[in-house]
Structure 1
Amino acid sequence: MIKPLKLNQKSSLTLLLAFVMLVLAACGGTTAGGGDSKPEAGEANGTEAPKASEPVKVVWWHSMSGELGKAADKLVADFNASQKNVVVEAVFQGTYDESLNKMKASMDSKSGPALIQVYEIGSRFMIDSKAITPIQQFIDEEKFDISALEENILNYYTFDGKLYSMPFNTSNPILYYNKDMFKAAGLDPEKPPATYEEVAEAAKKLTKDGQTGASFAIYGWFMEQFFANQGAELVNNGNGRTSPATDSLLGSEAGVKTMTWWKQMIDDKTMLNLGRKTDDTKKAFAAGQIAMTLDSTAALRGIVNAAEGKFEVGTAFLPKPKDAQDGGVIVGGASLYILNNRSEAEQKGAWEFIKFLTEPKQQAFWSVNTGYFPITKKAYDEQLVKDNMAKYPQFKTAVDQLHQTKANKATQGAVMGVFPEARQLTEGAIEEILNGKKSPKEALDGAAKEISARIQQYNKTVSK
């Protein structure tokens, strides 16, 4: 039996929601891992449990706009046409932050959805809110087999051995490079740099004739990935997974080493600082102004298409220091949560839709039309994916990077209830370093102190 939200949880939930709404309001509408969405939205109205003769209506709130939204709508249409018991209504709710704020506002009135897409850095809040029915409950009740799903993707959304949400749109960052510029600089285009040291050396050789070696957007997600790739944890207490995090480790050796490397390339004039927007680094890369950049795997098709007829795009694993510990990348993107203030029929209907989305055919369609990873291994056997891989062989880099990631607390990903704000503070510290206002250690320690204070403040709002 699926349990609804208990009344005695209400006061602590209200306090927690009020606190996080203030945090997210201060952060703006950032998204992670290539799932940018424009703010628009209509509110979905709550519905009574349907009569036995009627299909169950499941309202799904998501943050997929543009082509991503079209792909999501196609999945919904296909599901609705595949059976007669459940009708899913997809409603675009703006950015991840905007959608989450609307969900919080709807909790008491029950006017919200049965299913919601939430970005990965919202995981700690969703669990603490006690507003969800863990996906693990549905898996256990019908002994649903998840062995075909990608372990390194499930890993992020698993806490204490329990899967709380189902991954939906998943990406990780890779290094993109201009193979033609590599050839012109005397570098082997089939041997891209793999370490911080090799990137710095290549950037020097690539900086000439009005072109610059590289540019990385000032994006907190990249810093999180650089930590994981060194096997380093971003917050204490096992990255917030053995027990709730209380302190940020941003100023640790992994962070200082990363920012010292990054800042030295700025000082050497082999790296451009183009600010916080990945759109700006993408444009500079497509124009041949820079030879290397970082971006999400979800951006791959757009980057390759933008360079078509101008130069060949190469892809490589995210770089790391030559003496780094075992690590890898953390998944970005978002997952699907079932809310427990909806009827049992709606929750089960949402679960039926989730199962449909995990099937190889649906995962193949979603991956090919969005650039996100399939979460189902068997999707790679689908002809659609095989054809797409032949057209965009660069995507194999991303798949290999995912599969070669070593599973540990670092690569499982940090969790904290104030992650959106922490990401903003991290970006502020990076700016201070690249602009020469503070040393790497000073800026990162300052941001870590601020993040730790906010984590501790958040923890006080969470009921024990």
Structure 2
Amino acid sequence: MNNVTRRGFLGLAGVAGAAGLSACAGTGTSATSDQGGDGTTLELWSNHPGNSKPVEQELIAAFQKANPGITVKLVDAGKNYEEVAQKFNGALVGGTLPDLVVVSDVTWFNFALNKQLTPLDELLTTAKIDTADYVDALYGDYLFDGGHFALPYSRSTPLFYYNKEIWSKAGLEDRGPKDWDEFKEWSEALKAAAGNGKFAMELPDGSNYLDWHFQNMAWGYGGGYSQEWTPTFSAEGTVKAGQYLQDLAKGGVVKFNATPEADFSAGLAGCILQSTGSLGGITKDAKFEVGTAFLPGEGNCPTGGAGLGIPANISDARKANAVKLAEFLTNAESTVTFTQATGYMPVRKSAVELQSEKDYLAKNPNAKTAIDQLPQTRSQDNVRVLLPGGGARIGKGLDQVAQGQDVATVFAGLDQESQQVFDNQIKSKL
């Protein structure tokens, strides 16, 4: 998908989005906020992550059966997380707000910072919902200023997907690389095994979440995007990772593509990095045996995906039923149903103890890879997920690196730009 479609909201945020969010914070009138009545008719705004609309409809039907006094309308709110955020932002200015909205790893924070999402802790306590069963790392990703602003829903990590036929032809063991240095050692054999016009690896370009995956490389070489709020693009390890990425591109090892999973499934690349949420589609479309592995390195896998948030400026009655819906969509049984249909990760600890999940994982070991990798994950660096426009800004810089621009110069510019955004738009609100 193009830059406007996938990352348009983030690009706008880098220029004026945070100011717009701040300006519309708390401006909804009581008439606007209470459109939707007493909470017996709820709207869920979703982009249907992982082509999940059918399973979302299935879960909503089950919720309505269990709660006969409540009707839920599933709203197509955009093609991706950023479009949902853009629609929600528009409603905050002057429109009908949803009762529940999908908020991603890079969109929830600005809404929370500007008091446009409801802290859920009191609602959860009143509804007697035990949050201890949520996977700690996933629930903790939505913690800010002493409250949690979403429940984990379509949560993912990147996975290392590989074509077992090409792997075998290259004479490699049936596993992923231990680290990126080992992958470089493998790269020439993989290029030869893939064949003319094909690549050892494909990666998404900067408009399609290369910035999410590249964190793994940066962390693996001892760098990263930031320490807390201090940008660290110019750190030695981050620059080394950027040079590594550029060398892969110069050497014809990697191709950057808006939809690498499509080429991979067609047999045009030996491996890709892609979300766990792509597992279902890749498994269905690939005409070869697909392998999955942890990302290279230990403890260097970023979390990702989205949660469910409740707008701040709606009535208490709407909030009370919205939190019931959020909990139902993310309970153990529902998360098993959702994740088996999409490839996302179960968000409840108890989910993996359900017999239906045990049976599924036994038959689908690739799905188990993401669950096994979860202890190796870490929360993402602030300047990507918490700064307005962070992901789009980093993605643009990584595109420049891939195209051959000087790594140190590009990364120094990212340091400067990130610091300016923090100083101008975030610092005074913390």
For normalisation by structure 2, the TM-score amounts to: 0.84
**Secondary structure of the structure 1 residue equivalent to 2:249:** helix
1:60 equivalent to 2:51? Answer: no
1:315 equivalent to 2:315? Answer: no
1:274 alignment partner, one of 248, 256, 261: 256
Write out per-residue CA displacement over residues 129-186 of structure 1, whole angstroms, 9 at most, x where no aligned residue: 1122211122334553222211121121123553221111001001111112122122
1:84 alignment partner, one of 68, 91, 98: 68
Instruction: Name structure 1 gaps, 5 residues minimum.
Output: 1-18, 28-43, 239-244, 321-325, 406-410
- Using the alignment, how far apart are the partners of 1:459 and 1:160 within structure 2? 14
1:300 equivalent to 2:315? Answer: no
RMSD: 2.8
Identity %: 26
Q: What is the one-letter code of the residue matched to 2:357?
A: V
Question: Which residue in the other structure is 1:193 paired with?
Answer: 177
Question: Which residue in the other structure is 1:205 paired with?
Answer: 189
Matches within 5 A, 1:6-405: 22-23=12-13, 47=35, 49-50=37-38, 56-64=40-48, 67-94=51-78, 95-107=80-92, 109=94, 111-159=96-144, 162-189=147-174, 191-208=175-192, 209-210=195-196, 211-218=198-205, 219-228=210-219, 233-236=224-227, 238=228, 245=229, 247-269=230-252, 271-275=253-257, 277=258, 279=259, 281-308=260-287, 311-320=288-297, 327-405=299-377
CA apart distance, 1:273:
2.3
For normalisation by structure 1, the TM-score amounts to: 0.78
Question: Which residue in the other structure is 1:432 paired with?
Answer: 400
Go from structure 1 to structure 2 and tell me whether the alpha carbon gap of 1:114 and 1:213 turns closer, same or farther (over 3 Å shift): same
CA apart distance, 1:390:
3.3
**Secondary structure of the structure 1 residue equivalent to 2:204:** coil
> Are the equivalent residues in 2 in contact too, given 1:96–1:119 (CA < 8 A)?
yes
CA apart distance, 1:289:
2.5
CA apart distance, 1:23:
1.8
Q: What is the one-letter code of the residue matched to 2:381?
A: A
Q: What is the one-letter code of the residue matched to 1:327?
A: G
Q: What is the one-letter code of the residue matched to 2:293?
A: A
Instruction: Name structure 2 gaps, 5 residues minimum.
Output: 1-8, 18-31
Question: Which residue in the other structure is 2:410 paired with?
Answer: 443
- Using the alignment, how far apart are the partners of 2:369 and 2:122 within structure 1? 35
Write out per-residue CA displacement over residues 227-259 of structure 1, whole angstroms, 9 at most, x where no aligned residue: 4556755234x2xxxxxx3x4222323321222
Q: After the TM superposition, which of the residue ranges 226-235 and 96-105 deviates more from structure 2?
A: 226-235
- The number of residues matched between the two structures is 399
Question: Which residue in the other structure is 1:413 paired with?
Answer: 380
- Using the alignment, how far apart are the partners of 1:62 and 1:25 within structure 2? 25
Q: What is the one-letter code of the residue matched to 2:390?
A: A
Q: What is the one-letter code of the residue matched to 2:361?
A: M
Go from structure 1 to structure 2 and tell me whether the alpha carbon gap of 1:318 and 1:20 turns closer, same or farther (over 3 Å shift): closer
CA apart distance, 1:357:
1.8
> Are the equivalent residues in 2 in contact too, given 1:192–1:316 (CA < 8 A)?
yes
> Are the equivalent residues in 2 in contact too, given 1:46–1:113 (CA < 8 A)?
no
Q: What is the one-letter code of the residue matched to 1:224?
A: Q
